[in-house]
């Protein structure tokens, strides 16, 4: 039986120590869900180990197959340019497949709801609560369209209204979406950060939520997020399994 490909989780990295701590907590949850799967973590910037350093170490150990999984919620610049460039520079002995980004996924919507209920909302509040789906933001039209579609999909599950907002690059900002939901007549307004880990932009989202009734935590190591990582890993390694007749 061939060895399973190593799962390399590729995170952006941040000067904020909470970022790396949250990434490592998520990776620990992934390991707990799939005992026996080797999971490594590499950062594009600011933190160690770097993606390149991890790939060099894996090659030196004699590892053959790697699934590189971008720890990103949308397909924007990092997924389309930065990460492929780093992977092209990997040692040639490694066979690397880049997995899809995490979003969109129904599991991520479940994780968003989990965080809102953990912040104090109840199921009975749903129909009278407006939600701001607050993401980091991007200048990539594909990423913006995905967030807008996600907001519409989430609204259809029973919320009073759901409005997208962005911490950078795009409009509206979180505070503007909060005010819009107030004017719409929602009895309460909640902000759900559609981000994976704390940092500069999530802090900006939190400041923009000052007039909201509820501010949820970032997605972090939610079990649903860990399950999405494993789904993306399995999908990326499927072609190799088919070629081997597994």
> For the residues 194-218, what does the mean pLDDT come to?
98
Q: What is the pTM of this model?
A: 0.94
Contact, 214 vs 18, CB < 8 A? no
Contact, 205 vs 183, CB < 8 A? no
Instruction: Using a pLDDT cut of 70, give the percent of the chain over it.
Output: 96
Give the pLDDT confidence score for residue 172 in this predicted structure: 97
> For the residues 180-208, what does the mean pLDDT come to?
98
Q: Is the pLDDT of residue 43 over 80?
A: yes
Q: Is the pLDDT of residue 243 over 50?
A: no
- Band (239; pLDDT cuts 50, 70, 90): low
Give the pLDDT confidence score for residue 1 in this predicted structure: 58
| CA nearest neighbour of 15 among 137, 196, 198 | 198
Whole-angstrom distance, CA of residue 31 vs CA of residue 53: 21
Reported as a single tens digit per residue, the pLDDT across 71-93 is: 999 998 778 889 999 999 999 99
Strand-pair category, 95-98 with 214-215: unpaired
Q: Is the pLDDT of residue 2 over 90?
A: no
Reported as a single tens digit per residue, the pLDDT across 87-144 is: 999 999 999 999 999 999 999 999 999 999 999 999 999 999 999 999 999 989 999 9
Q: Is the pLDDT of residue 52 over 50?
A: yes
Tokens matching residue 55: 């790939």
């Amino acid at each position: 039986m061939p060895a399973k490909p190593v799962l390399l989780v590729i995170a952006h990295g941040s000067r904020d120590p909470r970022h790396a701590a949250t990434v490592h907590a998520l990776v620990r949850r992934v390991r707990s869900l799939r005992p026996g799967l080797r999971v490594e973590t590499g950062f594009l910037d600011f933190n160690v180990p770097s993606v390149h350093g991890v790939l060099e170490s894996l090659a030196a150990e004699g590892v053959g197959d790697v699934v590189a999984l971008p720890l990103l919620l949308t397909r924007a610049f990092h997924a389309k340019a930065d990460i492929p460039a780093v992977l092209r520079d990997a040692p040639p002995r490694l066979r690397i497949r880049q997995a899809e980004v995490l979003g969109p996924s129904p599991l991520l919507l479940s994780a968003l709801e989990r965080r809102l209920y953990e912040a104090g909302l109840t199921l009975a509040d749903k129909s009278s609560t407006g939600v701001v789906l607050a993401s980091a933001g991007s200048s990539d039209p594909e990423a913006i369209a995905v967030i807008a579609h996600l907001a519409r999909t989430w609204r259809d599950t029973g919320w009073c209204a759901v409005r997208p907002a962005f911490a950078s690059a795009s409009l509206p900002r979180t505070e503007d979406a909060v005010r819009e939901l107030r004017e719409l007549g929602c009895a309460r307004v909640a902000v759900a950060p559609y981000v994976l880990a704390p940092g500069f932009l999530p802090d900006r989202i939190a400041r923009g939520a000052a007039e909201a009734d509820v501010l949820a935590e970032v997605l972090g190591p939610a079990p649903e997020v860990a399950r999405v990582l494993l789904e993306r890993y399995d999908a990326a390694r499927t072609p190799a399994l088919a070629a081997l007749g597994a």
